[in-house]
Structure 1
Amino acid sequence: MKTVHAGLAAARALLPGRGDYSGLRASWRSDLVAGLTVGIVALPLALAFGVSSGAGAASGLITAVVAGLVAAVFGGSHVQVSGPTGAMVVVLAPVIAAHGLGALAAVSVLAGLIVLAAGALKLGRVVTFLPWPVIEGFTVGIAAIIFLQQVPAALATDGGDSTNAVLAAVHAAGAVNAAGAGWVSTGASLGIVAVVAAVMVLAPKIHPRLPGSLVAIVLASVIAEVFALPVARIGALPTSLPAPALPVLNMEILSALVGPAATIAALAAIESLLSARVASSISDTGAYDADRELFGQGLASIASGFFGGMPATGAIARTAVNIRSGGRTRAAAITHALVLLAVVYLATSVVSRIPLAALAGVLMVTAARMVSLPTLRAVIGSTRADTIVFFVTAVITVSFDLIEAVEIGIVVAAFFALRSLVRSSGVHREEIPGPIMDGDEHIALFRLDGALFFGAAERVLERVTDIRNVDVVILRMSQLQILDATGARVITDIIQALERRGITVLIKGIQDRHLHLATKVGVIESLRHHKHLFSDLPAAVEHARSHVSRAAAARTAQTATERKKTEP
C-alpha cells in the first residue's frame, strides 16, 4: 500500500498544480509584458531555426507555439521559455536530410517519449555530473555550427549534399565563384546580413529592451521590398495551426529513427536542464524541478510532433529575456506562445515576405553571442586539463557529432580527474612519534593518504612491499578518504606479502565507513592476530616495539646457537 501511495505522490509531483501560479495575482501585469516581449524576440528565431533545420519556417513557428505552451504548463521551471533552439537545429538538420521531412513528426514524438520517460524515472539530476569545460566546449561548438549553417543562405548559394556544417560552408563559398549572374543575388544577401547584424549590435546600445532582432528583420524586409532585391523569401505560411495527426510509426521507421531520436532526446534533456538551472540561478522565483522539467519537455516535443513541429528544448536566450522583462510565473511563457499563435492567424502574409538572408543574419549574430569571451578566458586560463577538455569537446562537436562530443568530453575530463586523484593519493613513511628507542629502526610506519583505488593501488603495493630490514610495519589508514574494492584488495596483498616474509603488520585508524569493505575483501582476516587492529597510534607503536624486542631476542638466541655449533 505504501508503494502505491509513493507512486501516486511521484506521479502528482510531475503534474501541474495550483502552486504553479501562487504569485500570479501580484505579478500578472509584469508577466504579460514579459510574455509579449519574449514573443517578439522569439518570432524571428523560431522562423530562422525552422528554416535552418530544413523543416521550414512554418515548422519552427508551430514548435514555438505548441511546445512553448505545453512546456510552460507542464515543465519544472516557473520562468523557462521553450521552443526550437540552435542546438536542436544542429542535430535535426542531418536527420531531415537523411530521412526526409516525413520523418520529422515521428522523430519528434519518439524523442519526446524518451525525454518523458527520463523524467518519470527521475533522471533529472544526471546533468549535474557534466563538467563545466564540457558544457562550454559544447556551447562553442554549437555556436560555430549554427554560424556555418547560415553561410549558404548569406551567400545565396547552395551548400551541397554534405550534412557537415564546415563542408557545406566551404562548398557554398566555392559556389560563389561559379555563380555568374548570381553575383547580384549574393551581394544583395550579404547586404541584408550586414544590415541585420548592424541593427542587432546597435539596438541594445540605444535601449536595453529594444528587440534588435525584430527591428532588424522589419528593416531588412522593407529594404528588400522597396528596392525589389533578388533574394529568396520565407514563402507561404499556414494561416492557422494544422489539425493534430498521429505520425506513421512502424518497425521500419522505428529502426531507422530510434538512434537519431535517442540523440535528440539526450540533447533536449541536457539543454533544457542546463537552461532551467541557469534560469534558477539568475531569478528569485524558486528552484526548478529537474524531473518535472524533463516530463514537461517530453510532452512538449510529443505535442509539437502531432502538429508537424520540431522537437523542443528550453531556450536560455528567450528565458533570460523573460526574466529580465519581469516574468515571474508560467503565465509569461504562456503569453509568449499566445503572441506567436496570434502571428499565425493574423500576420503570416507579412511574415512570408521576410528574406531568408535576414534570418541567416539573425542566427549569425545569435551564434556569436553564444560565445562569451570572459567565459572562454576563464576556461582556457584555469588548468591545462580543463583547457584540453574544452577544445576536444568543441572540435568534436563541430567535426563529428554533438552527443559523441559530450561523451568524449566527459571521458577526457574523467581521465584528467582520475589522474589528479591518483597524484593526490599516496603512501608516506613517517618517523615514529615520541622519543626514539632501541629497535625503532626495525619498525616502518606508513601513512596512506587521499584515495586508494584501482588507479593508485599498484603504486602503494610496490612502495610498501619493497621495505627491507624491518620486523613490523604499521599502516596508518585514518587519513585515507576513499577506498574501493581494488584498494582494499591491495592492502590484503600487502599484509600477506609482508607476513610471508616474517614481517608483522599492524593497522591503525581504519575508518568505520571502510571497515565493512575491508572485512569483506579480507584485510582483517589477513592480519596475524585480531589484536593487530588499533584505533590510536601510541598503542600500535607500543605493540610494535614488543614485537621488535621479541624478534631481537630471537635473533640473539639464534646467533648464539649458530656460534656454539661452529665452536670446536
Structure 2
Amino acid sequence: MAASAQSPRLAELFTPKLLTVLREGYGLGALRADAIAGLTVAIVALPLSMAIAIASGVGPERGLYTAIIGGFLVSALGGSRFQIGGPAGAFIVLVASTVATHGVDGLILATMLSGLILLAIGALRLGTFIKYIPYPVTVGFTAGIAVIIFSSQIKDLAGLHLAGPEPAAILPKLHALADAAGTASPAAIALALAAILIIQGTKRFAPRLPGMLIAVVGTALVAALAGLPVETIGSRFGGIPSMLPAPALPAISVEKVMAVLPAALSFALLGSIESLLSAVVADAMTGRRHRSNCELVAQGVANIASALFGGICVTGTIARTATNVRSGARGPVSGMLHALFLLGFMVIAAPLAAYIPLAALAGVLAVVSWNMIERHAIGILLRASRGDAAVLAVTFLLTVFEDLTAGIVAGFSLGALIFLHRMAGTVAVETGVPLIEPDRADSDRPETGGRTAWQPAEGDERAVAVLRISGAFFFGAAATVGATLDNVGAAAPKAYVLDMSAVPLLDSTGAATIDGFRRKADRQGATLWIAAARPAVRHMLHRHGLTPPAVHFRGDTGTAVAAARQALTAG
C-alpha cells in the first residue's frame, strides 16, 4: 500500500506541464493565443540567438540550432508552463572559454555531458537544493557575467582590429582593446549606437514592437544600401545554412571526456540555476507553480539533443520567458511554436542574414548585458547588511576577474558561513525556575507566548537547576551552549532539568554537547532530566546514547521538576 501511495506522487513530479495543460482541456482559443505568443518570442529570439552564439565564439547558426531544438524540447518536456529555452547570455563566458581551450568539438561534448548531469540531478530530485544558493550570489554572478559580456562586445561595437587574438581575461582584454583604439570604425560605432537607441526607444515608446529585430533589420538595410565598410555575418561567417544539420555524435574518448568534464559541470550548475530562476520568475508573473525536477530533466534532454544537432548550451531564458507570459501564452505550446517559427525564419530568410552587421548584434548584447544587472537589488543588498554586501562583492569580483565557478563557490561558501554565524547567535540558554508549582493544574499555569513564564534563579534550595535552551542547537552554537552549561554546573546542584521545548533542531554536535554535560553531571552525582523534547530532537539524543536510565525524559518542565525533586527526596 505504501508503494502504491507513493507512485502517483513520484509520477506527478516528472509529468511535463504539456500533459497537464492538455488534460485540463486545450481548444482553438488557447492555440491562437499560444501562436501569437510564440511568434512574438521567436521575433525576439531570432537576433538574440545569433548574437549570443557569435559572442560565445561559434557561428550564428549554432545559436539558432540551440533555440530550435533545445527550445522545442524544453517546452514539450519541461515542468513549467511558460519556460522558453535557448542559448543564454549567462553562458557566453563559459562557452567561449571552452571553445578556446577544447575547440567546437570539445564544446559539443561538454554540452552533451552537461545534459547527462542535468538528467541525473533531476532524476535524483536534487533540483530542490538549487534554492539554497543565496540571493546575493545570484545577483553578484549575474552582474559579473553582464560586465564580461559587455567587455567582449567592445571590439565589434567599435569595429576594432586587434593585432592578435582577443585575450579571454578581462584585464588583458581591456589592455588589448585600448591598444587598438586607433583602428575604431566610425561606421560601426554609428550602427551600434543606432541599434541601442532603437531598442531602448522602442521599449519606452512602443513596447509591443520587437525592438531588437527592428534594430537589426534597420541597421542591416542602412549598411547594405549605403555600402558601409563594416563587418557582417556574411563577411565573417559566410552566412547561415537554411536547414538543420543531420544529428551526429561528437568525437568521444576517455581523455576528451575527462578534459571537458569541468566545463560540463559548470554548464550543468549554471544551467540548473538559470532555468529554475527563470521558472520562478514565470511563477511569480502567473501564480502557477513549476516542477523543478521535471524541468531539470527536460533541460538535460534538450542539451543532449542540442549537442547532437551542433548546438550549444540550452537553458531557461528569463527575458524570453517573461516576453512569452506578457504576450498571453496559455501553456507550453507557445514555446514549441516559437521553435517552429524560428525554423521557418531560418529556412526562408537565411540568405538575408549575411547582411546583418556585427556591430548591430553587439549593440543587442550591450542592451542585454545592461538589463542583466539588477541595479535595484544591488542597492538593497549593499544597504541590507555587511554580510550580504560582502557575499555580493566577492561573487561579483571573482566572476569578473577569475571565473564563474570560483565566484559561485566562494560566494556560496561565504554566504553559508555568515548564515551559520547568524544562526549560532540566535541560540540562548536561560537559567531559572518555573513561576508555577508542578502540582498545579495546567489551566492555572500562566503562559507567555504558549510557554511557561520564567524568572532568574538566584539559588534553588531544592537543589534542582532548571535550564532552557532556545533556538537551533547545531555545531555552530555548541561551544556557546557548552560553556553556559559548564558555568551552571559550577554550582553543583543535585539534579538538572533541561527544557528543550524551544529547540526545533538538534544535530550530532549538539547531542554530543549534551552527552558531555550528562557525563559531567554523573561525576558530580547529579541526575539529568530532559523535558519537552520534540520527537526528532529526542530521536537524535537516543542515537547518541542519551536514554534511560542515563537520562530521564518528561513531557513538560513542570513534571520533570516534580520528578527530580521526588527522586532527591526519596534517595
TM score, norm. by length of structure 2: 0.88
Matched-pair contact (CA < 8 Å) for 1:82–1:315: yes
Q: Do residues 493 (structure 1) and 488 (structure 2) align?
A: no
Gaps spanning 5+ residues in structure 1: where? Answer: 552-568
Q: Do residues 452 (structure 1) and 457 (structure 2) align?
A: no
How big is the shift at 1:119? 2.4
Residue equivalent to 2:385: 383
For residues 534 and 371 of structure 1, the distance between their equivalents in structure 2, rounded to whole angstroms, comes to 55
Aligned-partner residue type, residue 493 of structure 2: D
Task: Tell me how many residue pairs correspond in the alignment.
Answer: 541
Matched-pair contact (CA < 8 Å) for 2:45–2:320: yes
Aligned-partner residue type, residue 197 of structure 1: I
Matched-pair contact (CA < 8 Å) for 1:232–1:355: yes
Structure number with bigger Rg: 1
Matched-pair contact (CA < 8 Å) for 2:87–2:314: yes
The one-character-per-residue Cα deviations of 1:197-252 (angstroms, maximum 9, x if unpaired) are 11111112221211111111122222322332222111121122222222221223
Of stretches 258-267 and 102-111 in structure 1, the one that deviates more from structure 2 is: 102-111
For residues 385 and 12 of structure 1, the distance between their equivalents in structure 2, rounded to whole angstroms, comes to 36
For residues 437 and 152 of structure 1, the distance between their equivalents in structure 2, rounded to whole angstroms, comes to 75
1:169 aligned residue (151, 166, 174): 174
For residues 549 and 113 of structure 1, the distance between their equivalents in structure 2, rounded to whole angstroms, comes to 68
For residues 2 and 427 of structure 1, the distance between their equivalents in structure 2, rounded to whole angstroms, comes to 42
For residues 516 and 259 of structure 2, the distance between their equivalents in structure 1, rounded to whole angstroms, comes to 51
TM score, norm. by length of structure 1: 0.88
Q: Decide whether aligned partners of structure 1 residues 98 and 240 sit closer, same or farther in structure 2, where only a CA change above 3 A counts.
A: same
Aligned-partner residue type, residue 536 of structure 1: D
Matched-pair contact (CA < 8 Å) for 1:390–1:409: yes
Q: Do residues 137 (structure 1) and 158 (structure 2) align?
A: no
Q: Secondary structure at the match of 2:501?
A: coil
For residues 123 and 224 of structure 2, the distance between their equivalents in structure 1, rounded to whole angstroms, comes to 51
Matched-pair contact (CA < 8 Å) for 1:432–1:440: no
Of stretches 272-281 and 514-523 in structure 1, the one that deviates more from structure 2 is: 514-523
For residues 481 and 293 of structure 2, the distance between their equivalents in structure 1, rounded to whole angstroms, comes to 42
Matched-pair contact (CA < 8 Å) for 2:462–2:565: no
Q: Do residues 535 (structure 1) and 555 (structure 2) align?
A: yes
Identity of matched residues, % = 35
2:409 aligned residue (388, 407, 410): 407
Residue equivalent to 1:471: 493
Residue equivalent to 2:151: 148
How big is the shift at 1:441? 7.9
Q: Decide whether aligned partners of structure 1 residues 270 and 437 sit closer, same or farther in structure 2, where only a CA change above 3 A counts.
A: closer
State how 1:344-423 maps to structure 2 within 5 Å: 344-423=346-425
Residue equivalent to 2:533: 510
Residue equivalent to 2:291: 289
The one-character-per-residue Cα deviations of 1:445-497 (angstroms, maximum 9, x if unpaired) are 22111122211112222222223344233322222222112111111111221
How big is the shift at 1:540? 3.8
How big is the shift at 1:10? 4.1
Q: Do residues 521 (structure 1) and 555 (structure 2) align?
A: no
How big is the shift at 1:164? 2.3
For residues 493 and 526 of structure 1, the distance between their equivalents in structure 2, rounded to whole angstroms, comes to 16
For residues 175 and 458 of structure 2, the distance between their equivalents in structure 1, rounded to whole angstroms, comes to 79
State how 1:20-35 maps to structure 2 within 5 Å: 20-21=21-22, 22-35=25-38
2:116 aligned residue (113, 117, 128): 113
Matched-pair contact (CA < 8 Å) for 1:301–1:312: yes
Gaps spanning 5+ residues in structure 2: where? Answer: 438-456
Matched-pair contact (CA < 8 Å) for 2:18–2:76: no
Q: Do residues 234 (structure 1) and 233 (structure 2) align?
A: yes
Residue equivalent to 2:340: 338
For residues 136 and 211 of structure 1, the distance between their equivalents in structure 2, rounded to whole angstroms, comes to 27
Matched-pair contact (CA < 8 Å) for 1:79–1:329: yes
Matched-pair contact (CA < 8 Å) for 1:199–1:215: yes
How big is the shift at 1:98? 0.8
For residues 483 and 116 of structure 2, the distance between their equivalents in structure 1, rounded to whole angstroms, comes to 52
Q: Secondary structure at the match of 2:485?
A: helix
For residues 493 and 508 of structure 2, the distance between their equivalents in structure 1, rounded to whole angstroms, comes to 28
For residues 20 and 535 of structure 2, the distance between their equivalents in structure 1, rounded to whole angstroms, comes to 44
Q: Decide whether aligned partners of structure 1 residues 358 and 471 sit closer, same or farther in structure 2, where only a CA change above 3 A counts.
A: same
How big is the shift at 1:15? 6.0
Aligned-partner residue type, residue 328 of structure 1: R
Residue equivalent to 2:217: 218
Q: Decide whether aligned partners of structure 1 residues 437 and 211 sit closer, same or farther in structure 2, where only a CA change above 3 A counts.
A: closer
Q: Decide whether aligned partners of structure 1 residues 475 and 219 sit closer, same or farther in structure 2, where only a CA change above 3 A counts.
A: same
The one-character-per-residue Cα deviations of 1:315-334 (angstroms, maximum 9, x if unpaired) are 11011111111111222112
For residues 523 and 9 of structure 2, the distance between their equivalents in structure 1, rounded to whole angstroms, comes to 60
The one-character-per-residue Cα deviations of 1:168-210 (angstroms, maximum 9, x if unpaired) are 233212321xx4xx34x2x222222211111111112221211
How big is the shift at 1:504? 4.0
Of stretches 515-524 and 308-317 in structure 1, the one that deviates more from structure 2 is: 515-524
